[in-house]
Structure 1
Amino acid sequence: MSGAFSLFESWHIPCTRFLSRTFQFSRGSYDMQRPIKRQALCFCRNMQTVTCEIVDASYVPAPQNKPKDKRSPQVETIGAFQKLPMVMPSVDIFHSAMRKAKRVLPTKGIANIARRERNRGAKQLDALMKELAVPLRGYIENFPKRTYLHPYERSLIELTLGDGNYEEVLRKVDALRKKVVSVGKEHASLCAKSLSKREAEERLTEGLEKLQEIFKREGQAVDNLLYIAKTLRAMPVVDLEMPTLCLVGAPNVGKSSLVRMLSTGKPEVCNYPFTTRGILMGHITINYQHFQVTDTPGLLKRCDEDRNNLEKLTLAVLSHLPTAILYVHDLSGECGMSPSDQFVIYKEIRERFDNHLWLDVVSKCDLLQESSVVFITEDGETNHLELAKYLKIGPKGAIHVSVKSEEGLNELTNNVHEVLMAQMGRIRSSKIPENIEVA
């Protein structure tokens, strides 16, 4: 026979009662029976509900599973890299832990010399183990898992550190922590079981040397984590709430010069390709509104599988951040890439990111006016009408500028301001719920 039932007991005392009272006055007396309502104490006892099963005429408490917290970790917004903990070099961690451990004294009141020495040795080994393990555990807990990062920062980790290197370093740090804890507990236990003062001192020395050897041999993982923290913390912070203009184009077309002209950003400007080795940020202020400008590495004419990490970094910015695009063209040939190849790259990027606000700029127009060079495409598409127009004036509606002669810079600045204001409108409209009408 089996079944289940619940027990519940509850009792209370009535909380009110009525009393009568006689009132007397000096010029006469009379009785007035008036009910008076008084509050009385209320006693209540509840018994916890218990579910039982009846098995062979016996009551057996049924197992009760507590509901598990199914809340998944929240995905981080951009800025997780600036929250990374400060990592100490492995040498500093060990020397600091050793100094603190050696200051640990035996428990007071132990008269026997052997007992006092093994107590001191066990406590010092335990203290050293904890001083080494605690910071390592803090690093493991406070470095975010890549799964819960913003897709943009996830891409930065992969492209900057290499695929899987971030997790591998954290795994090695955790393995070092576990080994330190295991060895520290083992030698502390051996020291506590010593039979003489001499044996306790030998066990203490042996344990300290063993922990030092482990940390010296495998502490490189901590130094690698220190490098990762410095690298990621140096990444520019992109505010998703702030409209952003991203400069894109082939290498050495003049993107960095335009960033310096348009914003507060000061990227390196040199006359050779791939000067920009990462994402560089600048800011613009228009009517007390703040905007971001990013300089990106140049793109080459090749498929995505053959692109280097710098090119993939540019594509990651366009893929994961809500940016407007300022595409820079160099038709003078000075950048080292023919305009026909630039046209191929431009068409590909324009089709892939067509949902972004777009602004085309032809840079170095002072050199273009002096140039009489005619570029012939490798594909034999010289007669293609669209390509022919591109080779002559660039994309339709492109602004011709020259940082050297300052030609077209005012027009470019005004158009950039208009694009950024439009980008701000996009960001604000995306925050409005669909069921709310905007007047």
Structure 2
Amino acid sequence: MAKKLEFRRLLAAPSPDELLTRAFRRASRAADAMRARGKPIGIAKQREAERIRVMSQTIRKTLTKLVTATPSLSNLPPFYKELVAALVNVDDVRKSLGAIDGTAKIIRRLEREHIRRLRAVSSLGGTSAIRRQAYGRISSTVKRAGDHLAILREAEGKLADIPSVFIEMPTIVIAGYPNVGKTMLLRRLTGSEPKIAPYPFTTKGLNLGYFERGYKRYQIIDTPGLLDRPLEERNPIERQAIAALRHLADVVVFMLDPSGTCGYDFERQLHLLEDIRKTFSNVIVVINKTDLLDEQRVREVRELCKDAVFIAAATDQGVPELEKIIRSIKSKLTGKIVWFR
């Protein structure tokens, strides 16, 4: 059974003020809830030690979870590795994780140091003074980590929209200009409305669909707003996001509309096709809306696109033949077929 590849989301990193406020509040409640016994000085030492301990534990637990819950950025599958690199500065994130881990260790050391000093105090005023010193030094340590917390918080926001996809499943990516019929073809192949998953660099997200033939399941990905214009019009980060899709696409179905109804001239569409061929292997060229073409136009297009598959997705004409072509090459696929629009 195909496994779904899920990017483990980063935890939201609090600001230093948020973290300290939470720690102070918990420390105060814990001290108030204590049922200490003994002489006044002994009770004071117990309460102040509890405040220091709970404050330290609250902060250290949060910082440690930030580090341990973050997936190893160096051991990600290729798709995620390239996508993450397009979204965040991986070296900065790694350095910040190391700094946060170091901060937790420093706070643990400060906790032990001040609790040890409490044992030697002989006055009530001295116990509160030690606790204030501990609070101050721990607070300063947390605030010094503020920039690193901000980097992790920013990374969490940017990586929140990374989609989950199936691995070891033949995947089809649909490409082509807007309005050439990609969504209609996806519906024809899957027999259902596509699911929408978020994807960075496009506000429209990914359209995901699945279909089964002969006990084999296929994954179809349509990327509206991402592969709908020439690569030279893309910024470097967008190009890297597109490059990440190479690790998913076993086959790209590139759709052309020579009818003129999509709003883009045919030469411009052919230029985008050449871009896609430079970026992806296993490209199937599909001529759509053939039901709107006269015989002369069909001959002209066949001359320009000799190996293309001619279909009319709106009427299902040629779609079964296209599906057979896709299925016939499944033995060459490592896992996925991607559609771009």
Smaller-chain TM-score bracket: 0.7 to 0.9
Greater share of residues in helix: 2
C-alpha displacement of 1:412 = 2.0
1:411 is aligned to 318
**The residue matched to 2:166 in structure 1 has which SS?**
coil
Per the alignment, do residues 279 and 412 of structure 1 end up closer, same or farther by CA in structure 2, a change over 3 Å counting?
Answer: same
Which residue number in structure 2 is paired with residue 361 of structure 1? 286
- Residues 177 and 269, structure 2, Cα contact 8 Å, conserved in 1: yes
- Larger radius of gyration between Structure 1 and Structure 2: 1
Report deviation, 1:284: 1.6
What number of residue pairs does the alignment pair up? 320
Give the match for residue 338 of structure 2: none
The TM-score normalised by the length of structure 2 is 0.72
Residue 128 of structure 1, aligned match among 37, 55, 68: 55
Task: Supply the distance in 2 between the matched residues of 1:348 and 1:173 (Cα, whole angstroms).
Answer: 43
**Residue pair 2:41, 2:123 contacting (<8 A) in 1 also:** yes
What amino acid sits opposite 1:294 in the alignment?
I
- 1:356-391 residue CA offsets vs partner (Å, 9 max, x unmatched): 2x422234556666xx9xxxxxxxxxxxxxxx955x
| 2:238 corresponds to which of 310, 317, 324 | 310
Q: Structure 1 CA distance, aligned partners of 2:184 and 2:97?
A: 39
Equivalent AA in structure 2 for residue 422 of structure 1: I
CA-CA distance at 1:193 after TM superposition: 4.5
1:242 to 154, 159, 169: 169
Per-residue CA shift, 1:28-69, capped at 9, x if unaligned? xxxxxxxxxxxxxxxxxxxxxxxxxxxxxxxxxxxxxxxxxx
| Unaligned ranges ≥5, structure 2 | 336-341
Q: TM-score, normalised by structure 1?
A: 0.58
Relative contact order: is structure 1 or structure 2 higher (C-alpha 8 Å, sep ≥ 6)?
A: 2
Give the 3 Å change call, closer, same or farther, for CA 211–338 of structure 1 in structure 2: farther
Question: Is 1:81 aligned to 2:11, yes or no?
Answer: no
What is the identity, as a one-letter code, of the residue corresponding to 2:54?
A
Question: What root-mean-square deviation, in Å, do the aligned CA atoms of Structure 1 and Structure 2 show?
Answer: 4.1
2:330 to 400, 423, 429: 423
| Contiguous gaps of at least 5 residues in structure 1 | 1-76, 269-273, 373-387, 429-439
In the TM superposition, what is the alpha-carbon distance from 1:198 to its structure 2 partner? 1.7
| Seq. identity, % | 21
- 1:265 has 2:194 as partner: yes
Which residue does 1:399 correspond to in 2? Answer: 309
Alignment of 1:28-427 (within 5 A): 79=5, 81-82=7-8, 84=9, 86-87=11-12, 89=14, 94=20, 97-102=23-28, 103-104=30-31, 110-111=38-39, 113-161=40-88, 164=91, 166-167=93-94, 169-171=96-98, 173-174=100-101, 176-178=103-105, 180-181=107-108, 183-185=110-112, 187-189=114-116, 191-208=118-135, 211=138, 215=142, 218=145, 221-222=148-149, 225=152, 228-229=155-156, 232=159, 234-250=161-177, 253-263=180-190, 264-267=193-196, 278-296=205-223, 297-298=226-227, 300-302=229-231, 307-318=235-246, 320-321=247-248, 323-332=250-259, 337-350=264-277, 353-354=280-281, 356=282, 358-365=283-290, 395-402=305-312, 406-407=314-315, 409-420=316-327, 422-424=329-331, 426-427=333-334
Question: Letter of the aligned partner of 1:412 in structure 2?
Answer: V
Counterpart residue type for residue 88 of structure 2? L
Gap change, CA 1:399 and 1:80, over 3 Å in 2: closer
Report the alpha carbon displacement of residue 279 of structure 1 after superposing the two structures with TM.
Answer: 4.1
